[in-house]
Homo-oligomer: A and B are copies of this chain.
Amino acid sequence: MEYIFSDRTNNLKPSAIREIFKYAADPTVVSLSAGNPSPDAFPVKELEEISARLFRENPIGLLQYSVTEGYAPLREHLKKYMKEKYDIGTGDDDVLITTGAQQIMDFAAKSLVNEHDVIITEAPSFIGSLNSFRAYNAKLVGVPVESDGMNMEGLEKALAENENVRFIYTIPNFQNPSGVTMSLEKRKKLYELACRYNVLVLEDNPYGDLRYSGEFLPAIKTFDTDGRVIYAGSFSKVISPGIRVAYTIAPKPIVQKMTVCKQGSDVHTNIWSQMLCYEFLTKYDFEAHLERLRTIYRAKAKFCMDLLDKYCAPEIEYDKIDGGLFIWCKLPEGVDMPEYVKKAIERKVCVVPGNAFLTDESETTNGFRINFSTPTDEQLEKGIKALGKLIKEY
C-alpha cells in the first residue's frame, strides 16, 4: 500500500532534535541538548496536595468533559493577573487555555496562514514553532538575531520584499535557541513595523518569568493599541511541562477562531491540569516559587558560563544570558559545525547543531545550542570540559 500525504505535511520530517535525543537517551552520554526544566524546579509537594484535594472535593469536575475556552476561574485569574503584573491584555482581548504553547503556534498558523503565505521568524528560532508553521506549508523567512534581538533592517527588508506576510513570530525574552533578549527599542520598532506593514505579531514568552539578571522589559503586547499582537504564555517552564497548560491573550476575533480550531482538535485541555495551575497560582505563593526558580537557574547559568570561560574560551564564544534555559555557542570561523557536533557525540556529549533552528536547515551556521537546566552540575562540568578539549584539538 502506497500512502499519499497532504501537500502541507508531505515534506514534514521528524524534528532534528528528536534524532539527537536518540543519542541523548544513552545513559553514558551527557546531554546538553534538552530543554527540560530542572527536576528541582517542580513544586511537587504543592501539586500533590492540590491534586489530592481536588479528588476529594470535586472528582466529577476533574474527570468530566469541560469547555473548549478553558477552566473559567483560570481564564479570569490570568486576565487579571497578566494585566496587573505585566499590563498585558485589553478589553478587546480574550484568553484561551491551550494544551501547551505549541498549540498556540499550531492554531495561529491554522487560522491565519494559507499555504505559501509568509511567516517571518527570528533566525535561529525555536524548531518546534517552525515545524508547527511548516505543517501548514507556510513559507518561513528568517531574520538574523543579534545580541539585542532581531535585526530590524532585516525585518523591514523581509516585510518589504515578501507579499502575504501574515505575522512576525518572535521570542523576545531569552530566546530559544540564542538566549538573547530583544531590547526595548527593538520591541517598539518591531511593533511599529508590524503596524506600518499591517501584519500581526505572535509573541512567544515561555521564559519571561525566568529572568535572573538585568532589567525587566515590557512585552511587545503592552504596546498593542491596534489589536495585532497574539501573546503566548506557558506554565511549562514555571510549573510543569508534562501537564501541558499554556494560554494565549489575543484579540477576541482571533481567540474565537482559535477556539473553533481547538474544538476540532483536542476539544479542551486536560481539566485536572488546568485546575492544578489555578489552585497553585491562587492559593500558594507563586511569586516566591518564581524567585526560587530564578535562584536555581541563576546559579546553574553562572556555573555553565564559568565552565565555558574556563574550558572553551577563547575558541568558543557565546552571548551572556540574563534568563531562560539556553546558551548559544559559536565555533571559530572555518570549523565545520556539524562535524564538530558529531565528534562531540562520539565523545559522549550531546548538543544541538544550530542549523536545526534555521528556517532553511540546509543553510550553514557556526552555532550550536546548549542547555544547562536539565544536566546535573557534574554532567555540565564533564560535558563542557569535553567540548573544550575537542575544540582545542582543531
Q: Which of A206-220 contact B (CB under 8 A)?
A: none
* Given A44-B59, A99-B99, residue A64 in contact with residue B240 (CB < 8 A): yes
* Given A102-B264, A251-B1, A267-B128, residue A42 in contact with residue B63 (CB < 8 A): yes
For the complex, give the distance between the alpha carbons of A103 and B264 in Å: 7
Tell me whether A376 is interfacial, beta carbon within 8 Å: no
Partner of A251, one of B3, B36, B103: B3
Interface stretch (choices A131-139, A173-181, A356-364): A131-139
Contact assessment for A99 and B266 in the assembled complex, using a CB-CB cutoff below 8 Å: yes
Set of chain B residues within 8 Å of A100, measured between Cβ atoms: 266-267
Q: Which of A23-53 contact B (CB under 8 A)?
A: 34-37, 39, 42, 44, 47-48, 51-52
Contact assessment for B267 and A5 in the assembled complex, using a CB-CB cutoff below 8 Å: no
Contact assessment for A48 and B55 in the assembled complex, using a CB-CB cutoff below 8 Å: yes
Tell me whether A162 is interfacial, beta carbon within 8 Å: no
Contact assessment for A259 and B14 in the assembled complex, using a CB-CB cutoff below 8 Å: yes
Set of chain B residues within 8 Å of A12, measured between Cβ atoms: 257, 260-261, 264
Set of chain B residues within 8 Å of A261, measured between Cβ atoms: 9, 12, 135
Contact assessment for A47 and B55 in the assembled complex, using a CB-CB cutoff below 8 Å: yes
Copies of this protein in the complex:
2
Tell me whether A314 is interfacial, beta carbon within 8 Å: no
Contact assessment for A102 and B251 in the assembled complex, using a CB-CB cutoff below 8 Å: no
Set of chain B residues within 8 Å of A114, measured between Cβ atoms: 6-8
Q: Which of A1-22 contact B (CB under 8 A)?
A: 1, 3-9, 12-15, 18
Q: Which of A94-120 contact B (CB under 8 A)?
A: 98-100, 102-103, 105-106, 110-115, 117
- For A, the interface residue count at a CB cutoff of 8 angstroms equals 83
CB distance from A9 to the nearest CB of B (A): 5
Contact assessment for B55 and A44 in the assembled complex, using a CB-CB cutoff below 8 Å: yes
* Given A6-B110, A14-B259, residue A242 in contact with residue B102 (CB < 8 A): no
For the complex, give the distance between the alpha carbons of A60 and B262 in Å: 28
Tell me whether A125 is interfacial, beta carbon within 8 Å: no
Contact assessment for A272 and B271 in the assembled complex, using a CB-CB cutoff below 8 Å: no
Set of chain B residues within 8 Å of A61, measured between Cβ atoms: 242
Partner of A113, one of B6, B65, B268: B6
Contact assessment for A65 and B36 in the assembled complex, using a CB-CB cutoff below 8 Å: yes
Tell me whether A282 is interfacial, beta carbon within 8 Å: no
Nearest CB in chain B to that of A241: its residue: B65
Tell me whether A273 is interfacial, beta carbon within 8 Å: yes
Tell me whether A73 is interfacial, beta carbon within 8 Å: no
Set of chain B residues within 8 Å of A51, measured between Cβ atoms: 51-52, 55
Contact assessment for B65 and A266 in the assembled complex, using a CB-CB cutoff below 8 Å: no
Tell me whether A391 is interfacial, beta carbon within 8 Å: no
For the complex, give the distance between the alpha carbons of A270 and B239 in Å: 14
Nearest CB in chain B to that of A136: its residue: B6
Contact assessment for A260 and B9 in the assembled complex, using a CB-CB cutoff below 8 Å: yes
Q: Which of A13, A99, A134 has the most CB of B within 10 A?
A: A99
Tell me whether A345 is interfacial, beta carbon within 8 Å: no
For the complex, give the distance between the alpha carbons of A372 and B143 in Å: 56
Tell me whether A253 is interfacial, beta carbon within 8 Å: yes
Tell me whether A228 is interfacial, beta carbon within 8 Å: yes
Chain A interface (Cβ within 8 Å of chain B)?
1, 3-9, 12-15, 18, 34-37, 39, 42, 44, 47-48, 51-52, 55-56, 59-66, 68, 98-100, 102-103, 105-106, 110-115, 117, 128, 131-132, 134-136, 226-228, 236, 240-244, 251, 253-254, 256-257, 259-261, 263-273
Known: A8-B114, A14-B256. 11 other contacts (CB 8 A): A6-B113, A9-B110, A13-B260, A51-B51, A99-B99, A102-B267, A106-B266, A128-B264, A128-B267, A131-B263, A272-B272
